[in-house]
């Protein structure tokens, strides 16, 4: 299932929003993730919110811009002192999900290995999947690989338009549950 999540990063700023580095993770996965990062040019805030189901595996610049407007409102509500600092970049990133929350992993053809479908926690799960795929491809066996391979196959999605309707209904329901965290 091809889902997109959206993020924006502010232009650099100085002496606002407290400590040099911090991160806020939502209690609900559909809530906003906020991070303050600091470099030579100053500090920046990265905000990640919103999910959309896009079976075409593409999103328009118009959708990214509209989501950035929502992120701006969300950021300003949390940090009024940052209201004048523009977003320097906004983007959408792909997130692959399976209906039964398992990875699409293994040798899919002779010499062709799959390590995708991270089901959220992309950096952590994608790194683990890549390490396990490298072990599998090179013939390195381990207890970790055996455990990783001991998972069911991803469930097939229902046909369109049922997949689109179901995915979007779940996303909207979860966004409503996340409430002000979004």
Tell me the per-residue pLDDT of 24-82, one tens digit each, with 9 for 90 and over: 877 777 778 899 999 889 999 999 988 898 888 889 999 999 999 999 998 998 889 88
pLDDT band (50, 70, 90) for residue 85: very high
pLDDT computed for residue 59 by the predictor: 93
Please give the model's pTM, rounded to 2 decimal places.
0.77
- Say which residue, 151 or 177, is predicted with more confidence: 151
Quickly list DSSP for 93-138.
EEEE--TTS--EEEEEETTEEEEE---S-HHHHHHHHHHHHHHHHH
Predicted confidence (pLDDT) per residue in 92-121, tens digit: 988 888 888 888 888 989 999 988 877 666
| Buried b or exposed e, range 53-79, using 16+ CB within 10 angstroms | bbeeeebeeebbeebbebbbebbeeeb
Residue 117 has a pLDDT of 79
CA distance 162 to 173: 16
Phi and psi torsions of 65, nearest 5°: -65, -40
């Amino acid at each position: 299932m091809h889902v997109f999540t959206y993020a924006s990063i502010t232009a650099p700023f100085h002496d606002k929003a407290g400590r040099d580095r911090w991160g806020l993770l939502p209690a609900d996965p559909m809530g906003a993730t906020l991070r303050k990062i600091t470099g030579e040019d100053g500090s920046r805030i990265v905000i990640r919110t919103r999910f959309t189901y896009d079976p075409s595996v593409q999103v328009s610049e118009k959708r990214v811009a509209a989501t950035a407007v929502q992120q701006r409102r969300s950021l300003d509500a949390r940090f009024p002192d940052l209201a004048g600092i523009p977003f320097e970049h906004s983007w959408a990133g792909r997130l692959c999900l399976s209906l039964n929350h398992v990875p699409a992993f293994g040798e899919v053809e002779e010499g062709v290995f799959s390590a995708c479908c991270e089901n959220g926690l992309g950096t952590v799960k994608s790194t683990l999947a890549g390490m396990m795929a490298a072990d599998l491809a090179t013939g390195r066996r381990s207890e970790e690989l055996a455990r990783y391979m001991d998972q069911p196959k991803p469930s097939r999605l229902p046909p369109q338009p049922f997949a689109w309707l179901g995915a979007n209904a779940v996303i909207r329901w979860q966004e409503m549950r996340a409430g002000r965290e979004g």
